[in-house]
Amino acid sequence: MTSGKSRVDSRPDLQADFGYRILRLLEGHGLAPSPIHYWIFHDYLQASNEALVQAVSERLSAGRKLDSFVLHDLFERYVAGESLSRFNDMGDDLEALLSGIISLLRNAERTTAGFQACLTDNLQALDQAENPEGLKAIAQCLAAAVVTASSDNLALQRNLEEAEQEARHLRLELEKHRKASITDPLTGLLNRRGMETEMARVLKVSDEICNVMLVMDIDHFKSINDRYGHAVGDVVIRKVAASLRRVLPPDAVLVRFGGEEFVALLSGHSVQDAVALAEQAREMVERLRLVNRQDDTVVEGFTISVGISPASDSDTVETLFARADRALYQAKHAGRNRVVALGS
């Protein structure tokens, strides 16, 4: 056996058997052998990622389906998260290093400028000294040193400008990758990781402001996929997301939580405000009509249910979500296509 955490034998025949077991698992769940699907089952069988193993085992024990969306979510939470953390740490360290270099360059620039001013003052004072010819000769040598220092300073300034440009470029690249890591590619909304980060920030900085969470779900979405196909289902998700974006305030933290479920956090709004906005969104979605251009099939009749809860002073994102999710359950249980609000 190999040393370390890996529990997979390094011999080729056993490695092949291990790969075959993964493929059998993928086949048993009706999943294509894509890199992420393979990665999840590889780590599950290898048992080196305890959190991932527990999450997969719990779903299997409960008889819950492991579809592609679930595996991508597991990858995002238990595999990519650590890599993203290292990436963010690297970005912070790199930016700190660049800031330090720029600070040193600026200090060097100021030091050189001060040295030149000091020498100029001394050169003027030499005119009053005894034996001026000898002293002026010394001063001329010092003045030549100043010329050299000034030339070096020009080069230093050029390096400083280049360093600042590179720093700006790196900051933009880091920000672009950070945004990509917290964005849902289908809708352009925040994903679950972005939800945790942005909503925690809002709750932290707005203790004196009313915050309200909405948890929204497309009703009977499985039947939409079954009847029209997953491609049409994706269009429905995008249209619902666009409707929510139009209705909710621009500063709302709007998230595609998973599958057909959305979450929004409104800051500075009362529960009554949230209910009114949710009703607008519900009515807008109810009026949506889509036409499948391939066969002119009209896709209609999809609705959303909404659960709402205000935040208390002690709430975290998790506790607030749990309460709003209970409100969503009540809306579903009461017949769907409705809004239910719970107190804090």
**Quick check: 253 and 298 in contact, CB under 8 A?**
no
Ranges of beta strands (E only) in the chain are: 211-218, 253-258, 261-267, 289-292, 297-300, 304-310, 339-341
Residue 30, φ and ψ in degrees, nearest 5: 65, 35
The separation between CA 172 and the C-alpha centre of its own chain, rounded to angstroms, equals: 15
In 3D space, the residue among 324, 284, 321 whose CA is nearest the CA of residue 304 turns out to be: 284
- d(CA 327, CA 344) in angstroms, rounded, equals 11
**Quick check: 217 and 304 in contact, CB under 8 A?**
yes
- d(CA 25, CA 2) in angstroms, rounded, equals 24
- d(CA 181, CA 190) in angstroms, rounded, equals 9
Burial 166-181 (b: 16+ CB within 10 A, else e): ebeeeeeebeeebeeb
Handedness of CA 31, 35, 40, 41 (dihedral sign): positive
- d(CA 192, CA 185) in angstroms, rounded, equals 12
Clarify whether 162 is annotated catalytic. no
Of the residues 260, 261, 283, 286, only one is catalytic, namely 260
| Dihedral angle of Cα 41, 47, 50, 55, to the nearest 10 degrees | 30
Calculate the alpha carbon distances from 241 to 3, 139, 236, 292, 332 in Å: 49, 75, 8, 19, 19
**Quick check: 320 and 311 in contact, CB under 8 A?**
yes
- The length of the chain is 344
Identity at 153, one-letter amino acid code = N
Instruction: Cite the active site residues.
Output: 260
